[in-house]
């Protein structure tokens, strides 16, 4: 069962991962 607290913890991580993927896609292999 997923609680609101669980979602609140996961959302920032999901956003960070998506941002990293977007940067990798736009910037190629550059980090």
What is the domain partition of the chain in residue ranges? 1-25
What pLDDT score was predicted for residue 25? 85
Q: How far is CA 3 from CA 7, 10, 14, 15, 31, in A?
A: 7, 11, 16, 19, 34
pLDDT in tens, 1-31: 789 999 999 999 999 999 999 998 887 665 5
Proportion of the chain above pLDDT 90, given as a percent:
61
Distance CA 30, CA 4 (A): 36
What pLDDT score was predicted for residue 3? 94
What pLDDT score was predicted for residue 31? 54
Residue 24 sits at φ, ψ, to 5 deg, of: -65, -40
Residue 30's region, left for phi above 0, alpha for psi from -120 to 50, else beta, is beta
What pLDDT score was predicted for residue 29? 61
What pLDDT score was predicted for residue 2? 82
């Amino acid at each position: 069962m997923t609680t609101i607290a669980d979602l609140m913890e996961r959302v920032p991580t999901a956003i960070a991962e998506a941002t990293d993927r977007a940067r990798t896609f736009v910037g190629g292999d550059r980090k």
